Structure 1
């Protein structure tokens, strides 16, 4: 019997018409049994010879994993980033790889704005002090008074820019693939962005070329007291260099929703001016529902194109 894997840690199959159509066509769903992100070995084991399609999370779909799935025809990412999939290996084997770039964009953009405001107004620090019996008169900063530098002006970056502009912040951006900027956004070189922005927010996919895009040298270029936000991908920031920048006071604050190793365990926990969240950028109810519906539709349509499922 042909099967399809849903590797995300949670997925509403009951209220998804495309999933039900796959089941009615005779395909058996195989769910993630761990309730967390799969390891490479776990993904390879799950993608056995009966699997023809996959709704993927952020597990590492390496060449080894993809090559072990001998009947796999379609990978449908429930999300926007494709950096967890070896696209070269998939293409060489004729496996279609699809994603849902619009679905999570607003959710990630809103989380990014929340992290900016929390860092500027020191909300998390103040909360901890109040719970400890103190009554701090914490003075923060206005987003309206900041220059926000956005690295990556895709679906999410554009929404972050729009939200920041609603707060009357000045927005500059760096994206080597964008030549025409949206209204009131100034495209600048990377060095200029690092040197002039008060808040720097990352919205680019991860690739080996972008590993530690924000390294010690980049951090040294930033304005004293700058804030760094990463609600994109782990690996874009050198976490050791980030610690040094927080220790030295080069950065006044930072916020991370993505880490090189997840779940994160490390020495960043000790920094009171560092906000940490557990890669929840897309986990807004409405965005998650849209992502699941679009991912399932992509899988269904992909399998129809292969002839495994007949078009209605």
Structure 2
């Protein structure tokens, strides 16, 4: 009897630990992403046609894509964000959708802290100088004692706050949904937060524009901006202007409006650019894969 088909569209599923593949092979025919990159719409339909389930990455699972996949019953997102999935279309077509919101939390929080430390001590800049044959000692700043403003205070925002508190930082946050205030952490309106913070961190779950030219102007002169949440939340042109003018000392951006990123922020030395790797820690990736497999099997009634 022919096995039902499952498609896995993430680029590295099972690369570091293949144990999550074993229960899938036991029940299904498995098709992996052959391109080693984020799939385009037409590639998704081609790869996933005939599948009853997808373990998905960040590729666009829009209404037209889902309508081109009759028989699809479950989408199991290997990751947190669901903004790449047309949830209304999925419900209309009777497709269950799952995600793994807890697994990437620590990885993103640790990346956040790493980017801040790199920026403040200018590690990348000095590394580049030495590779170019220049012995340049650049003066940096301490993280201890800095005011941190976190925009978005869900799982990742709280994890980042905990790490930064342990390093001697003063934390404030803004979030329209969160009601509680953890010990020694203040809630502030966005405009007040921008003026309070030496370092502004974005940890939101939507792609809505949050930090534009007006918000950058309200930030402290010499401040830093970190975005490891969603592309589109920061106006990249306004950020370029803020960094080039010297109003901001530095920034670190892991997510972009259009990826792969090819914009003018690449011209600046005082920004760290990473290719959407918030969850790219081996331990987190393995846990995400384990949970996404469990979710898929549960959704299909095979768990």
TM-score, L = length of structure 2: 0.95
Q: 2 CA distance for matches of 1:132 and 1:179?
A: 50
Other-structure match for 2:122: 122
Matched, 1:173 2:173: yes
Spell out the pairing of 1:156-171 with structure 2 (5 A cutoff): 156-171=156-171
Contact 2:16 2:286 in 1 (8 A): no
Q: 2 CA distance for matches of 1:289 and 1:71?
A: 28
2:286 aligned to which of 281, 285, 289:
289
1:20 aligned to which of 9, 19, 22:
22
- Of residues 268-277 and 131-140 in structure 1, the stretch that sits farther from structure 2 once superposed is 131-140
Spell out the pairing of 1:102-141 with structure 2 (5 A cutoff): 102-141=102-141
Spell out the pairing of 1:229-308 with structure 2 (5 A cutoff): 229-304=226-301
1:221-276 residue CA offsets vs partner (Å, 9 max, x unmatched): 11111100011111111111111111221111000111111111122111000111
Q: 1 CA distance for matches of 2:33 and 2:24?
A: 17
Q: In the comparison of the two structures, how many residue pairs are matched?
A: 301
Other-structure match for 2:47: 46
1:195-214 residue CA offsets vs partner (Å, 9 max, x unmatched): 1111011111124xx1x211
2:283 aligned counterpart, secondary structure = helix
The unaligned stretches of length 5 or more in structure 1 are none
Q: 2 CA distance for matches of 1:274 and 1:40?
A: 32
Other-structure match for 1:8: 10
Other-structure match for 1:95: 95
Matched, 1:228 2:241: no
Other-structure match for 1:218: 215
Q: 2 CA distance for matches of 1:235 and 1:91?
A: 26
Spell out the pairing of 1:63-82 with structure 2 (5 A cutoff): 63-82=63-82
Runs of 4+ with deviation above 3 angstroms: 13-19
Query: Structure 1 residues 217 and 72 mapped into 2: Cα distance closer, same or farther (>3 Å)?
Result: same
TM-score, L = length of structure 1: 0.93
Other-structure match for 1:202: 202
Other-structure match for 1:142: 142
Q: CA deviation at 1:183?
A: 1.9
Q: 2 CA distance for matches of 1:17 and 1:129?
A: 43
Q: 1 CA distance for matches of 2:238 and 2:187?
A: 26
- Of residues 123-132 and 76-85 in structure 1, the stretch that sits farther from structure 2 once superposed is 123-132
1:158-183 residue CA offsets vs partner (Å, 9 max, x unmatched): 11000100101001101111010222
CA RMSD of aligned residues (A): 1.5
Q: CA deviation at 1:69?
A: 1.2
The unaligned stretches of length 5 or more in structure 2 are none
Q: 2 CA distance for matches of 1:81 and 1:181?
A: 24
Matched, 1:184 2:184: yes
1:52-102 residue CA offsets vs partner (Å, 9 max, x unmatched): 001000011111111211111111110111111111111111211111111
Q: CA deviation at 1:41?
A: 2.1
1:85-141 residue CA offsets vs partner (Å, 9 max, x unmatched): 111111111211111111011011101100001111111111112222333232111
1:143 aligned counterpart, secondary structure = coil
Q: CA deviation at 1:15?
A: 5.2
